[in-house]
Protein backbone atom coordinates (compact mmCIF):
# COMPACT_ATOMS: atom_id res chain seq x y z
CA UNK A 1 0.00 0.00 0.00
CA UNK A 2 1.15 3.05 -1.80
CA UNK A 3 -0.21 6.42 -0.59
CA UNK A 4 -1.29 9.19 -2.90
CA UNK A 5 -0.24 12.71 -2.06
CA UNK A 6 -3.78 13.75 -1.27
CA UNK A 7 -4.12 10.89 1.14
CA UNK A 8 -2.77 11.95 4.51
CA UNK A 9 -2.96 8.45 5.96
CA UNK A 10 -5.74 6.66 7.72
CA UNK A 11 -4.36 3.15 7.50
CA UNK A 12 -1.88 1.68 9.93
CA UNK A 13 1.21 3.45 8.75
CA UNK A 14 3.37 0.36 8.87
CA UNK A 15 1.22 -1.36 6.25
CA UNK A 16 1.50 1.55 3.90
CA UNK A 17 4.23 2.36 1.40
CA UNK A 18 5.30 5.98 2.05
CA UNK A 19 8.07 6.06 -0.51
CA UNK A 20 6.16 7.90 -3.27
CA UNK A 21 5.91 10.83 -0.88
CA UNK A 22 9.66 11.34 -0.86
CA UNK A 23 12.00 12.30 -3.66
CA UNK A 24 14.35 9.44 -2.85
CA UNK A 25 15.32 7.04 -5.61
CA UNK A 26 13.93 3.77 -4.34
CA UNK A 27 16.51 1.69 -6.19
CA UNK A 28 18.71 2.36 -3.18
CA UNK A 29 18.17 0.86 0.21
CA UNK A 30 18.11 4.07 2.14
CA UNK A 31 18.50 3.73 5.85
CA UNK A 32 20.41 6.90 6.55
CA UNK A 33 17.73 9.55 6.79
CA UNK A 34 19.54 10.94 9.79
CA UNK A 35 22.54 12.11 7.74
CA UNK A 36 21.13 14.75 5.45
CA UNK A 37 17.39 14.13 5.63
CA UNK A 38 15.28 13.50 2.54
CA UNK A 39 12.71 15.95 1.22
CA UNK A 40 8.99 15.30 1.03
CA UNK A 41 7.74 15.42 -2.53
CA UNK A 42 4.89 17.87 -1.75
CA UNK A 43 7.45 20.12 -0.09
CA UNK A 44 9.66 20.02 -3.18
CA UNK A 45 6.64 20.98 -5.28
CA UNK A 46 5.97 23.86 -2.94
CA UNK A 47 9.56 25.05 -3.31
CA UNK A 48 9.25 25.00 -7.09
CA UNK A 49 5.93 26.82 -6.91
CA UNK A 50 7.30 29.58 -4.68
CA UNK A 51 10.35 29.81 -6.89
CA UNK A 52 8.31 30.51 -10.02
CA UNK A 53 6.06 32.96 -8.22
CA UNK A 54 9.08 34.85 -6.97
CA UNK A 55 10.82 34.90 -10.33
CA UNK A 56 7.86 36.34 -12.24
CA UNK A 57 7.60 39.29 -9.88
CA UNK A 58 10.81 39.45 -7.86
CA UNK A 59 10.30 43.03 -6.74
CA UNK A 60 6.71 42.58 -5.73
CA UNK A 61 7.58 39.36 -3.96
CA UNK A 62 10.74 40.40 -2.15
CA UNK A 63 9.71 43.97 -1.38
CA UNK A 64 6.12 43.39 -0.40
CA UNK A 65 5.25 39.73 0.21
CA UNK A 66 8.26 37.96 1.64
CA UNK A 67 8.61 39.42 5.12
CA UNK A 68 4.96 38.91 6.14
CA UNK A 69 5.22 35.36 4.77
CA UNK A 70 8.35 34.66 6.81
CA UNK A 71 6.59 35.92 9.90
CA UNK A 72 3.71 33.59 9.14
CA UNK A 73 6.12 30.65 8.79
CA UNK A 74 7.81 31.61 12.06
CA UNK A 75 4.47 31.75 13.80
CA UNK A 76 3.43 28.29 12.56
CA UNK A 77 6.77 26.79 13.48
CA UNK A 78 6.73 28.39 16.92
CA UNK A 79 3.32 26.86 17.58
CA UNK A 80 4.57 23.47 16.40
CA UNK A 81 7.48 23.50 18.83
CA UNK A 82 5.67 25.00 21.79
CA UNK A 83 7.45 28.32 21.66
CA UNK A 84 6.47 31.98 21.57
CA UNK A 85 6.85 33.48 18.11
CA UNK A 86 9.02 36.27 19.52
CA UNK A 87 11.61 33.77 20.73
CA UNK A 88 12.21 31.96 17.45
CA UNK A 89 14.09 32.91 14.28
CA UNK A 90 14.57 31.03 11.02
CA UNK A 91 18.12 30.09 10.07
CA UNK A 92 19.67 28.28 7.08
CA UNK A 93 20.80 25.38 9.30
CA UNK A 94 21.70 24.34 12.83
CA UNK A 95 25.38 24.96 12.10
CA UNK A 96 24.72 28.66 11.48
CA UNK A 97 22.49 28.84 14.56
CA UNK A 98 25.08 27.20 16.82
CA UNK A 99 27.82 29.47 15.58
CA UNK A 100 25.57 32.43 16.33
CA UNK A 101 24.94 31.19 19.86
CA UNK A 102 28.62 30.68 20.61
CA UNK A 103 29.47 34.03 19.10
CA UNK A 104 27.05 35.65 21.52
CA UNK A 105 27.95 33.76 24.67
CA UNK A 106 30.47 36.02 26.29
CA UNK A 107 33.23 34.05 27.95
CA UNK A 108 36.09 35.33 30.03
CA UNK A 109 39.48 33.61 29.72
CA UNK A 110 38.91 31.75 32.98
CA UNK A 111 35.39 30.50 32.10
CA UNK A 112 34.73 26.81 31.57
CA UNK A 113 32.36 25.02 29.20
CA UNK A 114 31.05 21.48 29.37
CA UNK A 115 30.08 18.97 26.75
CA UNK A 116 29.89 15.23 26.32
CA UNK A 117 32.35 12.99 24.50
CA UNK A 118 29.52 12.15 22.10
CA UNK A 119 28.94 15.78 21.07
CA UNK A 120 28.82 16.39 17.32
CA UNK A 121 32.27 16.82 15.73
CA UNK A 122 31.86 20.29 14.33
CA UNK A 123 30.37 21.50 17.63
CA UNK A 124 33.52 20.31 19.39
CA UNK A 125 35.43 22.51 16.92
CA UNK A 126 33.18 25.48 17.58
CA UNK A 127 33.56 25.10 21.33
CA UNK A 128 37.32 24.68 21.14
CA UNK A 129 37.57 28.00 19.32
CA UNK A 130 35.09 29.69 21.57
CA UNK A 131 36.22 28.75 25.05
CA UNK A 132 39.70 28.04 26.39
CA UNK A 133 38.63 25.51 28.98
CA UNK A 134 36.27 22.88 27.63
CA UNK A 135 35.67 19.81 29.77
CA UNK A 136 34.29 16.57 28.45
CA UNK A 137 32.04 14.16 30.30
CA UNK A 138 32.71 10.68 29.02
CA UNK A 139 29.47 8.80 28.69
CA UNK A 140 30.50 6.42 25.94
CA UNK A 141 33.93 5.49 27.26
CA UNK A 142 32.68 2.04 28.15
CA UNK A 143 30.17 0.48 25.83
CA UNK A 144 27.32 -0.34 25.97
CA UNK A 145 26.05 2.90 27.49
CA UNK A 146 23.93 1.87 30.43
CA UNK A 147 20.94 4.22 30.59
CA UNK A 148 19.80 7.85 30.92
CA UNK A 149 20.48 7.88 34.64
CA UNK A 150 24.11 6.96 34.15
CA UNK A 151 24.49 9.95 31.84
CA UNK A 152 22.81 12.25 34.36
CA UNK A 153 24.98 10.94 37.16
CA UNK A 154 28.16 11.55 35.17
CA UNK A 155 27.11 15.10 34.31
CA UNK A 156 26.04 15.88 37.87
CA UNK A 157 29.36 14.68 39.19
CA UNK A 158 31.17 17.01 36.79
CA UNK A 159 28.93 19.98 37.58
CA UNK A 160 29.63 19.54 41.27
CA UNK A 161 33.37 19.46 40.73
CA UNK A 162 33.76 22.93 39.18
CA UNK A 163 31.79 25.96 37.99
CA UNK A 164 30.81 26.09 34.35
CA UNK A 165 29.57 29.04 32.35
CA UNK A 166 27.62 26.88 29.92
CA UNK A 167 27.01 23.30 28.85
CA UNK A 168 26.12 21.91 25.42
CA UNK A 169 24.05 18.78 24.91
CA UNK A 170 22.86 17.10 21.73
CA UNK A 171 19.16 16.29 22.04
CA UNK A 172 19.82 13.25 19.87
CA UNK A 173 23.54 12.62 19.45
CA UNK A 174 24.74 12.07 15.91
CA UNK A 175 27.39 9.35 15.96
CA UNK A 176 25.92 7.32 18.77
CA UNK A 177 22.24 8.01 18.01
CA UNK A 178 21.45 8.34 21.71
CA UNK A 179 18.41 10.22 22.95
CA UNK A 180 19.64 12.28 25.87
CA UNK A 181 17.49 13.15 28.92
CA UNK A 182 17.51 16.85 28.01
CA UNK A 183 14.75 18.03 30.38
CA UNK A 184 16.67 16.58 33.32
CA UNK A 185 19.94 17.95 32.00
CA UNK A 186 18.47 21.45 31.75
CA UNK A 187 17.17 21.21 35.31
CA UNK A 188 20.51 19.90 36.56
CA UNK A 189 22.48 22.67 34.89
CA UNK A 190 20.19 25.42 36.06
CA UNK A 191 20.45 24.05 39.59
CA UNK A 192 24.18 24.69 39.29
CA UNK A 193 23.79 28.08 37.57
CA UNK A 194 25.03 26.81 34.25
CA UNK A 195 23.58 28.04 30.95
CA UNK A 196 22.36 25.31 28.62
CA UNK A 197 22.67 25.09 24.84
CA UNK A 198 20.64 22.28 23.30
CA UNK A 199 21.73 21.14 19.85
CA UNK A 200 18.44 19.74 18.61
CA UNK A 201 19.69 19.17 15.05
CA UNK A 202 17.90 15.80 14.94
CA UNK A 203 15.07 16.64 17.30
CA UNK A 204 12.57 18.52 15.14
CA UNK A 205 10.11 15.97 13.85
CA UNK A 206 11.74 13.02 15.60
CA UNK A 207 10.39 13.93 19.03
CA UNK A 208 7.53 16.20 20.18
CA UNK A 209 8.96 19.51 21.31
CA UNK A 210 7.77 22.00 23.89
CA UNK A 211 10.47 24.60 24.10
CA UNK A 212 8.70 26.79 26.64
CA UNK A 213 8.38 23.82 28.98
CA UNK A 214 11.97 22.71 28.35
CA UNK A 215 13.23 26.12 29.37
CA UNK A 216 16.75 25.82 27.98
CA UNK A 217 18.75 28.98 27.31
CA UNK A 218 19.37 28.29 23.62
CA UNK A 219 17.90 25.66 21.30
CA UNK A 220 18.68 24.99 17.65
CA UNK A 221 17.19 22.49 15.20
CA UNK A 222 17.20 21.52 11.52
CA UNK A 223 13.96 21.16 9.58
CA UNK A 224 15.56 19.19 6.75
CA UNK A 225 16.29 16.12 8.82
CA UNK A 226 13.35 14.37 10.48
CA UNK A 227 10.80 16.96 9.43
CA UNK A 228 11.78 16.14 5.83
CA UNK A 229 11.61 19.81 4.85
CA UNK A 230 13.71 21.13 1.95
CA UNK A 231 17.30 21.93 2.82
CA UNK A 232 18.07 25.43 3.88
CA UNK A 233 15.54 25.65 6.71
CA UNK A 234 16.24 25.51 10.43
CA UNK A 235 15.60 27.59 13.53
CA UNK A 236 17.25 29.13 16.57
CA UNK A 237 15.31 29.62 19.78
CA UNK A 238 16.66 31.99 22.40
CA UNK A 239 15.25 32.55 25.86
CA UNK A 240 13.99 36.15 26.09
CA UNK A 241 16.51 37.03 28.78
CA UNK A 242 19.39 36.41 26.34
CA UNK A 243 17.93 37.91 23.17
CA UNK A 244 19.47 41.32 23.61
CA UNK A 245 22.96 39.81 23.54
CA UNK A 246 22.56 37.49 20.56
CA UNK A 247 24.28 39.14 17.60
CA UNK A 248 23.80 37.86 14.06
CA UNK A 249 26.90 36.66 12.25
CA UNK A 250 25.55 38.01 9.00
CA UNK A 251 24.45 41.59 9.49
CA UNK A 252 22.25 43.29 6.98
CA UNK A 253 19.42 45.78 6.68
CA UNK A 254 17.33 44.45 9.55
CA UNK A 255 20.10 44.83 12.09
CA UNK A 256 19.40 46.83 15.20
CA UNK A 257 15.64 46.66 15.16
CA UNK A 258 14.99 43.76 17.49
CA UNK A 259 15.53 40.02 17.68
CA UNK A 260 13.40 38.88 14.74
CA UNK A 261 14.49 41.79 12.59
CA UNK A 262 18.15 40.98 13.19
CA UNK A 263 17.78 37.56 11.60
CA UNK A 264 14.94 37.77 9.13
CA UNK A 265 17.13 39.17 6.35
CA UNK A 266 20.60 37.68 5.86
CA UNK A 267 21.15 39.11 2.43
CA UNK A 268 19.33 37.84 -0.59
CA UNK A 269 19.03 34.10 -0.78
CA UNK A 270 16.49 31.52 -1.85
CA UNK A 271 13.68 31.77 0.68
CA UNK A 272 11.59 29.02 -0.88
CA UNK A 273 12.78 26.37 1.62
CA UNK A 274 11.44 28.51 4.48
CA UNK A 275 8.14 29.08 2.74
CA UNK A 276 7.75 25.39 1.98
CA UNK A 277 7.71 24.80 5.74
CA UNK A 278 4.02 25.76 5.67
CA UNK A 279 3.38 22.79 3.39
CA UNK A 280 5.56 20.52 5.50
CA UNK A 281 3.85 21.37 8.80
CA UNK A 282 0.42 21.06 7.27
CA UNK A 283 1.38 17.65 5.90
CA UNK A 284 2.60 16.25 9.20
CA UNK A 285 -0.39 17.60 11.05
CA UNK A 286 -2.73 15.82 8.64
CA UNK A 287 -0.74 12.60 8.84
CA UNK A 288 -0.55 12.60 12.62
CA UNK A 289 3.01 12.62 13.91
CA UNK A 290 2.42 10.83 17.22
CA UNK A 291 1.27 7.61 15.59
CA UNK A 292 4.00 7.87 12.99
CA UNK A 293 6.70 8.32 15.61
CA UNK A 294 5.43 5.27 17.48
CA UNK A 295 5.51 3.19 14.33
CA UNK A 296 8.99 4.37 13.37
CA UNK A 297 10.22 3.56 16.84
CA UNK A 298 8.67 0.08 16.66
CA UNK A 299 10.45 -0.50 13.38
CA UNK A 300 13.70 0.87 14.81
CA UNK A 301 13.66 -1.51 17.72
CA UNK A 302 12.65 -4.51 15.62
CA UNK A 303 15.40 -3.71 13.10
CA UNK A 304 18.06 -3.08 15.75
CA UNK A 305 17.26 -6.25 17.64
CA UNK A 306 17.20 -8.26 14.44
CA UNK A 307 20.61 -6.98 13.33
CA UNK A 308 22.14 -7.51 16.75
CA UNK A 309 20.89 -11.07 16.72
CA UNK A 310 22.03 -11.78 13.14
CA UNK A 311 25.47 -10.34 13.72
CA UNK A 312 25.75 -11.66 17.24
CA UNK A 313 26.50 -8.19 18.58
CA UNK A 314 24.60 -5.68 20.71
CA UNK A 315 23.11 -2.23 20.67
CA UNK A 316 25.30 0.68 21.72
CA UNK A 317 22.98 1.29 24.67
CA UNK A 318 21.65 -1.38 27.01
CA UNK A 319 18.48 0.57 27.62
CA UNK A 320 16.32 0.82 24.53
CA UNK A 321 14.69 3.94 25.92
CA UNK A 322 17.82 6.05 25.02
Partner 1 sequence: MKKTGEGYQGFGSFMTPSVDDMLDNKVPMYLPAEFLPAVPQDAVKKCSEFGTDSCRQLWPVCASTKTTFVNHGAFGVTPFPSLTAFHQVRQSVEAEPLAFFDRTLFYTMVNAIKRLSTVVNCKPKELSLVPNCTFGLNAVLNSLLDKDSTVLLLDITYGSIKKIALGSNIVWAHIPLTCANAPDKIVDIVRDVLQANEGKVKLAVFDHITSNTALLMPVQELTELCHSFGVPVLVDGAHALFATPLNIEKINADFYVGNCHKWFSCPRGCGFLWVKSKWHNQIKNPIKSHGSGSGFSSDFMWWGNTDYTPALMVPYMVDWWDAVGWQSARDYCNKLLHNATTLLCKSWNVSRVVTNPSSLCCCMALVALPKHTQGKKMTSVQSKLMQDNLFHVHHIQVPVKCIDDNLYVRISCMVYNNLEDYKTLANAVLNLLPELPDVFGTHADNGQNSSKL
Dist CA 97 CA 203 (whole Å): 15
Q: Annotate 5-21 with b (16+ C-beta within 10 A) or e (fewer).
A: eeeeeeeebeebeeeeb
200 binds partner 1 (CB under 8 A): no
* Smallest gap from residue 52 Cβ to partner 1 (A): 7
State how far the Cα of 320 lies from the Cα of 177, in Å rounded to an integer: 11
Q: Measured between alpha carbons, how far is 49 from 143 in angstroms, rounded to an integer?
A: 49
Binding-site size for partner 1 (CB under 8 A) equals 54
Does position 122 interact with partner 1 (CB under 8 A)? The reply is yes
Residue of 99, 119, 158, 176 that binds partner 1 (CB under 8 A): 99
Q: How far is the CB of 59 from partner 1 (least distance, A)?
A: 5
Residue 38 touching partner 1 (CB under 8 A): yes
For residue 169, report the phi and psi dihedrals to the nearest 5 degrees: -130, 140
Binding mask 252-271 for partner 1 (x = CB under 8 A): xx-xx---------xxxxx-
Question: Which of 10, 20, 32, 141 is in the footprint of partner 1 by CB under 8 A?
Answer: 32
Would you tell me how many other CB atoms lie within 10 Å of the CB of residue 102? 21
Q: Residue 164 and residue 133: Cα distance in Å, rounded?
A: 9
In the chain, at which residue ranges do the beta strands (DSSP E only) sit? 88-91, 112-116, 133-137, 166-170, 195-199, 218-222, 234-238
277 vs 39: CA distance, rounded Å: 11
Of 50, 222, 259, 264, the one binding partner 1 (CB under 8 A) is 222
3-class secondary structure, 269: coil
Closest separation in Å from C-beta 275 to partner 1: 13
Write down the least CB distance from residue 161 to partner 1, Å. 28
Q: Which is nearer to partner 1, 164 or 265 (CB)?
A: 265
Binding region for partner 1 (CB under 8 A) out of 82-90, 95-103, 181-189, 301-309: 95-103
Per-position DSSP letters for 206-242, written without gaps between them: HB---HHHH--SEEEEESSSTT-PPSS-EEEEE-GGG
44 scored as a contact of partner 1 (CB under 8 A): yes
Query: Residue 131, interface with partner 1 (CB under 8 A)?
Result: no
Q: What is the dihedral of CA 153, 157, 163, 167, to 10 degrees?
A: -30
Among 14, 16, 19, 23, binds partner 1 (CB under 8 A): 23
Residue 57 binds partner 1 (CB under 8 A): yes
Strands laid side by side in the 88-91 sheet: 88-91, 234-238, 218-222, 195-199, 166-170, 112-116, 133-137
| Interactions with partner 1, residue window 273-292 (CB under 8 A) | 273
Asked if 213 interacts with partner 1 (CB under 8 A), we say no
Q: Which residues bind partner 1 (CB under 8 A)?
A: 22-25, 28, 30, 32, 35-39, 44, 47-48, 51-52, 55-60, 62, 92-96, 99, 103, 121-122, 125-126, 129, 222, 224, 230-232, 249-253, 255-256, 266-270, 273
Amino acid sequence: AAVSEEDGGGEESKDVDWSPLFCLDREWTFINHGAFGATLRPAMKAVTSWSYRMEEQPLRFLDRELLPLLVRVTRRLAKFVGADVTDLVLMPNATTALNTVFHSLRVEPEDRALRLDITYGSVKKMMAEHCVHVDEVRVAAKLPVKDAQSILDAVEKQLESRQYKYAVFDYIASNTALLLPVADLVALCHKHNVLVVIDGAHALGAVPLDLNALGADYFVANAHKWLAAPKGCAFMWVHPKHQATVRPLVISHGFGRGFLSNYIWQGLRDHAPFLALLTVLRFWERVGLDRLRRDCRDLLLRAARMLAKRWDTELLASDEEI
